[in-house]
């Protein structure tokens, strides 16, 4: 599709200008209106301008009309006192969604190839990637990743989107770093806990081990063993105690006999002097005999009581004296082991819980890794089915390559060749290139660009600043 007529009226600094569809170079000094022609054509195609005033000073309406050899007519009017006007028709019929239609018949590189050579690497890459045609939307992203990843500019080309998803600054990569950091921290804690826990630690056994019952069992056995020991000692001392009690009895009787004898002797000696008291003394003497019998009875009774109690204790001792004490060594060892093992329970459970948390984090990290790897693998799959507009264009890690080289590595001439290749890549596109500021190019690159455009059948409209005060249009 080529233009056959371009008419500009009262736009920017142009009063009226008409081009006939030929390739031309417009020359003149700065301010002579060269760029106004280029800007007017861009305005017709994009409905945008970076100029503050579009309508020529002193006028109320500016217009540009472009007609092509395929029957396309673009008529756009900018008005200062009423609504703007546009008419986009194909063979006399209005085009549906005209602005969208226009955006499909050219690329940004066609409208300013010189500017493209001076763009940043990122901007050049974005423009090239936008040329790759692949049908996708947010549902496509959701099908791939199960969600819409955050922090991504989805107005970009799909390859740039995927590159941002897998990039180190992307949310997936950052989240995975955080998860892996937590995993390493928990792993260190687990290893620190594990070094103090015995090998083959049976948490179920020690968690259910009834230490209280074992304590009671040990106490019962210890008490029984103590009774047995005391019984043996008691039996061994029985005869000694009996002899002791008998000696106490004999000593008590002897003491009383001596006391009575002494008292009797004293009384007898005093009888003569106490004649008057003989009867009383004799009565008392009789009473002393009775008293002695009472004392004997008391001593004998106490002896018999103690022996009876001792015999009772012997019977109790007999129950234990013949028994063998139970060996508590094994039970003590078991309880000591249980006490030690139970001390590890809390730390062991903490370690198990931390391991579970670490497994969960690892699963999440692996899922993020899967998504990152998917974002890295998808471009190669996309390029198998996508429409690639330029020969030799590939994409690696989100970066477009031309015959294996990044755009930024191409020379100015090679980048201009790329712009021409892009211009002819769409069969139904407008075959025109707007070269504004050709004086910025090296002379040989400018001439090569003009030559290549003509060889490829492209119409170009170029502006070049010269010292001529008059605007001059030269057909090439």
The 10s digit of each residue's pLDDT in 50-80 is 888 899 988 999 999 999 999 999 999 999 9
pLDDT tens digits for range 345-389: 888 888 899 999 999 999 999 999 999 999 888 888 888 787 777
Which range marks the domain in which residue 50 is found?
3-120+409-475
Residue 444 lies in a domain: yes
Tokens for 10? 């009262």
d(CA 257, CA 291): 11
Domain membership of residue 277 (yes or no) is: yes
Q: Tell me the C-alpha distance between 474 and 476, whole Å.
A: 6
β-strands 432-435, 459-465 pairing? parallel
Query: For residue 307, how many C-alpha atoms fall within 13 Å in the half-sphere facing its CB?
Result: 15
Q: Do 334 and 418 share a structural domain?
A: no
CA distance 182 to 290: 102
**% residues pLDDT > 70 (the chain):** 98
* Same domain as 322, residue 242: yes
Domain annotation covers residue 282: yes
- Of 341, 365, 383, at which residue does a domain stop? 341
Rounded distance between C-alpha atoms, residue 94 and residue 106, angstroms? 19
312, 341, 370 - which closes a domain: 341
CATH number at residue 464: 3.40.50.300
The answer to whether position 188 is within a domain reads: no
Position 448 in a domain:
yes
Last residue of a domain, one of 286, 307, 341: 341
Tokens of 249: 């009895």
pTM (2 d.p.):
0.57
Q: 167, 161, 168: which is closest to 144 by C-alpha?
A: 161
Q: What is the pLDDT of residues 231-288, one digit of tens each?
A: 877 777 777 787 887 888 888 888 888 778 777 877 777 766 666 666 766 777 777 7
Structure tokens at 310: 């001792």
Closest CA to 132 of 389, 395, 428, 381: 389
- The answer to whether position 179 is within a domain reads no
Give me the number of domains the chain comprises.
2
9 lies in the same domain as 104: yes
φ/ψ region of 148 (left if φ > 0, alpha if ψ in -120 to 50, else beta) reads beta
């Amino acid at each position: 599709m080529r233009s056959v007529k371009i008419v500009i009226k009262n736009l920017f600094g142009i009063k009226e200008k008409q081009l006939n569809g030929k390739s031309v170079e417009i020359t003149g000094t700065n301010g002579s209106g060269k760029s106004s022609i280029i800007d007017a054509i861009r305005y017709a195609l994009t409905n945008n301008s970076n100029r503050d005033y579009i309508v020529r000073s002193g006028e109320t309406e500016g217009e540009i009309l472009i007609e092509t050899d395929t029957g396309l007519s673009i008529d756009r009017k900018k008005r200062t006192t009423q609504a703007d006007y546009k008419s986009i028709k194909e063979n006399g019929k209005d085009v549906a969604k005209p602005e969208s239609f226009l955006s499909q018949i050219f690329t940004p590189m066609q409208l300013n190839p010189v500017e493209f050579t001076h763009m940043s690497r990122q901007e050049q890459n974005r423009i090239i990637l936008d040329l790759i045609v692949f049908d996708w939307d947010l549902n496509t992203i959701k099908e791939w990743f199960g969600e819409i990843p955050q922090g991504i500019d989805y107005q970009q080309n799909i390859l740039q989107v995927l590159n941002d998803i897998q990039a180190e600054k992307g949310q997936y990569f950052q989240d995975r770093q955080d998860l892996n950091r937590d995993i390493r921290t928990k792993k260190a804690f687990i290893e620190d806990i594990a070094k103090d826990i015995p090998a083959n630690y049976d948490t179920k056994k020690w968690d259910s081990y009834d230490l209280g019952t074992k304590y009671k069992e040990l106490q019962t056995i210890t008490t029984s063993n103590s009774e047995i020991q005391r019984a043996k000692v008691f039996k061994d001392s029985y005869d000694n105690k009996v002899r002791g009690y008998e000696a106490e009895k004999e000593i008590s009787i002897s003491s009383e006999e001596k006391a009575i004898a002494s008292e009797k002797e004293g009384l007898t000696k005093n009888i003569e002097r106490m004649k008057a008291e003989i009867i009383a003394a004799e009565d008392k003497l009789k009473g002393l005999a009775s008293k002695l019998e009472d004392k004997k009875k008391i001593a004998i009774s106490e002896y018999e009581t103690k022996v009876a109690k001792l015999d009772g204790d012997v019977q109790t001792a007999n129950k234990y004296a013949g028994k063998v004490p139970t060996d508590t060594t094994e039970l003590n060892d078991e309880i000591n082991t249980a006490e030690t093992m139970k001390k590890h329970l809390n730390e062991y459970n903490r370690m198990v819980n931390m391991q579970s948390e670490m497994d969960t984090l690892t699963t999440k990290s692996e899922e993020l890794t899967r998504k990152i790897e998917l974002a890295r693998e998808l471009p190669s799959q996309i390029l198998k089915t996508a429409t690639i507009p330029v020969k030799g264009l590939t994409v690696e890690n989100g970066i477009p390559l031309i015959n294996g080289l990044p755009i930024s590595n191409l020379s100015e001439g090679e980048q201009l060749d790329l712009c021409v290749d892009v211009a002819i890549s769409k069969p139904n596109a407008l075959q025109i290139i707007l070269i504004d500021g050709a004086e910025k190019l090296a002379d040989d690159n400018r001439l090569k660009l003009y030559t290549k455009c003509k060889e490829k059948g492209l119409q170009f409209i170029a502006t070049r600043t010269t010292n001529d005060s008059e605007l001059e249009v030269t057909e090439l």
